[in-house]
Structure 1
Amino acid sequence: MNTLFMHCRPGFEGEVCAEISEHAARLNVAGYAKGKAASACAEFVCHEPDGPRRLMQGLRFADLIFPRQWARGRFVDLPETDRISVLLEQLADYPTCGSLWLEVLDTNDGKELSTFCRKFEAPLRKALLKAGKLVDNADLPRLLLTFKSGREVFLGLAEADNQAMWPMGIPRLKFPREAPSRSTLKLEEAWHHFIPRQEWDERLHSDMTGVDLGASPGGWTYQLVRRGMLVTAIDNGPMAESLMDTGLVKHLMADGFTYQPKPPVDWMVCDIVEKPARNAALLETWLGEGYCREAVVNLKLPMKQRYAEVRRLLDRIADGFKERGIRVSIGCKQLYHDREEVTCHLRRLESPATAKKAPRKH
């Protein structure tokens, strides 16, 4: 069980390899990363059998930027028939697991395999239960079987509280028909990823105010309005009439990089297509100057050295807050609905005595 297997967006295998290699070096886990271009997966092969376990213990999956899912284990070749017997034999040295996910890669071949997995899951689950390798216990590790084909599968393990929230790291979000654009799913996914669901009523409620920079036609504004917030939409382009008709949106034709809210707001969101360094500086200003409490901003990625650039920008933002003497939590993830970009979430950490309530007015 010397391999850490990771899912990712096709074309970002190199970024996964660079990121996990940096963490492995920091944690003194010897090994090497590899990933075939456009395969939607990467591996870190450890020189010691307990390397993947040590990596996973030393990292929080939610803190990784480019991997969508991970598991430690090994590859197994399967016959054309009686696959279950082979799997049970190969799982003999695996612990009893509390849940089972059958996964495929985010490729055309993977999509074709999904039908096979749906049919195969029920008999496999029945066999695992009978063999005592699977029980109904959410606290036990999850068994993740990633099928690269009908003849090759990765038998993986991941702790119940340290893995992706959805199979393959792909959320099942439904596009709201009334939303002005599909980009609305980026912000909804960001909230699922960065904010625990039990905190939504506290951190995303109707007494709050928000600003959407580069708002037109209103995909991200829609998500704020959906939570009942009063929103100032900043963009020289038009906003969807359906949003303006809610009475919750004020549209200002202004430059998103120079606009300053008065008074401060609870949320700032931004999906402006601009150089990542400029959007990163915008984040530092809004949180550093106290213009907002929380922010979600997308950083568009360069063609090369994408992980290195993201890491450099995140470090620069963190250093800027340190110089200001303020505490800000910083999260970053390439979400499923992202393309050539990553999504950053920042939250200013203040004690109840110093936090100020943003008035509910424009």
Structure 2
Amino acid sequence: MGDGLLCFCRAGFEPELAAELGERAALAGHPGHARTSRGSGLVEFFPADGDATGLDHALRFRDLVFARQKLLRLAELRELEGGDRVGPVLRVLDTLAAGGLPPFGQLWVEHADSDDGRPLAGLARSFGNALRPALRKAGRLTPRDEPAAPRLHVVLLGGRHLLLARSHPADSAPWPLGIPRLRMHPDAPSRSALKLEEALLVLLAPGDRERLLREGMQGADLGAAPGGWSWVLARHGLMVTAVDNGPMHEELLAAGRVRHVREDGFRWQPRQKLDWMVCDMVEQPRRVAARMAEWFANDWCRRAVFNLKLPMKKRWDETRLCLDLFTSQAGYPVRLRARQLYHDREEITVYASSVD
């Protein structure tokens, strides 16, 4: 059921997501074509064999780099009358239900995070308030929210144009638009702290965050100044060595959990194996990937989070090259997850682990 995938991304990165979906789909045996427009924040992908459900199962959300959210596209509604948007949605869902579509556990009415999409936020809220009780009355939505059941997504493309899609909680982002809403902590030395906070939220499972970030662990922050990422690790109970020739935030150092070493992050080596290494250095992505691989090849850390600053062109090609370079030079199997986060700009964030 469904005719393709619908994915959200950062506005301007539609070509990268389209290229990623095309390559991954072809490798999974479901070649097809992407449909998008620059700056839309959305990419649709249609398999040539028409097996959208098979494609949805083959392309797991956790493996996608440039997608903030992955949905199974169900239908497209155009030229809706302004006075009645609810009726057409119900009629389409009635047709789908006749084909075996069960009730949904939640309704999310969304819009793209783009210049054209953001003005639709007010309409999304009001339409959701009108549609939700109608869906429950028609039996298309469970009487109460059931977060473990598949969700119904209504994606507004305009006042009279929308897409219907579904997601499964185990294979999608748990936030509307795929964006976790984080607030800058007043004690954080820099806004870069939000990037690591989001990385730990998105790239690690909830149980892993509690198990793998514990009091007394040891970590290093390469290219640390002024200390945003060191501050995040310290908040999770780690003792941190901050490596940077630049100045660190004085209050962070005064708290006693962060030790500042004035040295180049590409040269410094730990004296013992660390639980964590993080790195947000502004450098060519291939050089960073090679340096991160060196850490794992030499068994200097168990886990790492690092950023790769991408070029302006062929960003999917560079991403794939850097991840392959890291994997080949690490010397042994390393688990990888990579994502362009909401707080990233021209970069992706990678989580690497040599252990469970």
Structure 1: gaps of 5 or more residues = 351-362
CA RMSD of aligned residues (A): 1.3
Residues 130-171 of structure 1: per-residue CA shift (max 9 Å, x gap): 111111333331111111112111100112211112111111
SS of the residue corresponding to residue 327 of structure 1 reads coil
| 1:104-123 residue CA offsets vs partner (Å, 9 max, x unmatched) | 11112322111111122122
Name the aligned partner's letter for residue 123 of structure 2: F
The answer as to 2:108 corresponding to 1:101 is yes
How do 1:135-284 residues align onto structure 2 when only pairs under 5 Å count? 135=142, 136-284=145-293
SS in 1 for 2:116: helix
Opposite residue 87 of structure 2, the aligned amino acid is S
Aligned residues: 346
Q: Which residue of 1 aligns with 2:130?
A: 123
Give the secondary-structure state (helix, strand or coil) at the position aligned to 2:83. Answer: coil
Question: Which amino acid is the alignment partner of residue 180 of structure 1?
Answer: P
Confirm or deny: 8 A CA contact 1:218 1:240 kept in the other structure.
yes
Shift of 1:31: 2.1
Structure 2 residue aligned with 1:13: 14
Contact 1:7-1:68 within 8 A present in 2 as well: yes
Query: Which residue, 273, 276, 296 being the options, matches 2:305?
Result: 296
Please point out which of 343, 346, 354 is paired with 1:348. Answer: 354
In the aligned structure 1, how far is the partner of 2:46 from the partner of 2:57? 16
Answer with 204-213 or 37-46: which moved more.
37-46
Corresponding residue for residue 3 of structure 1:
4
Instruction: Find the aligned partners of 1:304 and 1:103 in 2 and give their Cα distance.
Output: 30
- Measured after TM superposition, the shift of residue 48 of structure 1 is 4.1
Cα distance in 2 for partners of 1:39, 1:221 equals 35
Confirm or deny that 1:89 pairs with 2:91. Answer: yes
Return the alpha-carbon distance in structure 1 between the equivalents of residues 13 and 192 of structure 2: 21
Asked whether 1:26 is paired with 2:30, we answer no
Alignment TM-score, normalising by the size of structure 2: 0.94
Task: Give, in whole Å, the separation in 1 of the partners of 2:151 and 2:312.
Answer: 35
Segments of 5+ residues of structure 2 without an aligned counterpart are none
Which 4+ runs in 1 deviate beyond 6 A?
none
Q: Distance in 1 between matches of 2:307 and 2:301?
A: 16
Q: Distance in 2 between matches of 1:59 and 1:29?
A: 10
Counterpart secondary structure, 2:170: coil
CA 1:39–1:104: 2 relative to 1, 3 Å: same
Query: Is contact 1:143–1:155 with CA below 8 Å preserved after alignment?
Result: yes
| Equivalent residues of 2:47, 2:55 under 8 A apart | no
Counterpart of 1:71 in 2: which secondary structure? strand
- Output the CA distance in 2 between the equivalents of 1:198 and 1:109: 37
1:91 match: secondary structure: helix
* Cα distance in 2 between the residues matched to 1:171 and 1:70: 15
Structure 1: distance between partners of 2:169 and 2:221: 35
Q: Secondary structure at the match of 1:146?
A: strand
Q: Tell me the alpha carbon deviations over residues 248-282 of structure 1, each in whole angstroms, 9 at most, x when there is no partner.
A: 11111100000001112111101000000011011
Alpha-carbon shift at residue 88 of structure 1 (Å): 0.3
CA drift of 1:103 comes to 1.1
**In the alignment, is the contact (CA less than 8 A) between 2:25 and 2:59 conserved in 1?**
no
CA distance in 2, matches of 1:46, 1:164: 22
Corresponding residue number in structure 2 for 1:336: 342
Partners of 1:76 and 1:285 in 2: CA distance? 52
Q: Is the 8 A contact 2:277 2:304 kept in 1?
A: yes
SS in 2 for 1:109: coil
After superposition, residues 42-81 of structure 1 pair within 5 angstroms as 42-49=43-50, 51-72=51-72, 73-77=74-78, 78-81=80-83
Q: Residues 198-223 of structure 1, C-alpha deviation per residue, up to 9 Å, x if partnerless?
A: 22222101110111111111111110
Identity of aligned residues (%): 42
Shift of 1:12: 0.5
TM-score, structure 1 normalization: 0.92
Deviation for aligned residue 1:28:
2.1
Matched residue SS, 1:257: coil
Q: Secondary structure at the match of 1:243?
A: helix
SS at match of 1:102: strand
